[in-house]
A = this chain, B = another copy of it.
């Protein structure tokens, strides 16, 4: 029997990834959705989570795909209503709320799954295997994308708690925390546009416990070719993950990998956790982001306006 699922928040990530993955999954059946905007491809679309739970008691699980600033209340309501919960990344707007939800899920015997989709990229598990037992000299994370292409109209990303460039950067950190030994921030600089409440770029220096450098360069201002690379230098050779973990090279040689299936793999994992009666909440990627906000210096940079100036110009 498929698990009866509702989606909350029919924004870009739900449309692009969640709905297709759910439609293709034998483990889940979409029952309905709750969203301020948009329409569910199946069942009714509620405008409030509480109304949805009241009207559709057969829902067994929910996927929360809204911006992080409003996710806690929906997660709390879902757990109190006895539903299993998948949290899109980042799992919350604060660490403390994620800890509180984790405790509630445990108390209620429900599954809470803090999903890190990038960990399900094709190269991540092979990279873990290749790095096993090797001596790492350094790691460099370069995550540079054009915010206008990948986050069109997502105003929440620039608001407090929206994380700015850490919204993609946390994907890199979710992979790095999976494949590298533990590391912690030692210094950094966050670049804030003069008109925005979240950073557009971050230069971060981490170190492993033994002092191995882990450098991260996150930038939302990349035009032209986009870069989502993690390069790990070891005494035994160089590992390069590129395109967000969908390609992998060892000493320059491309490795054969399974096809990309991040979200189908996430949902398979969610079903597995529900069947096992377990939760999976790894806060480390979000903790690194919180540490960066706590520890790094700030610089002010050029204002960011989503519409390029040229487009707004009225011809003379």
Give residues in A with beta carbon < 8 Å to B.
72, 76, 93-97, 99-100, 103-104, 159-161, 182-185, 187-188, 197, 209, 284, 287-291, 293-298
Contact = CB atoms under 8 A, between A and B. Distances in A.
A188 to B, nearest CB: 8
B94 A209 contact: no
Nearest to A291: B94
Contacts of A93: 294-295
A99 B209 CA distance: 11
B294 A184 contact: no
B100 A184 contact: yes
Contacts of A291: 94-96, 290
Nearest to A159: B297
Contacts of A184: 72, 94, 96-97, 100
A287 B76 CA distance: 20
A206 to B, nearest CB: 8
Contacts of A197: 297-298
A193 to B, nearest CB: 12
Contacts of A297: 159-160, 197
Contact of A95 (B97, B100, B159, B290): B290
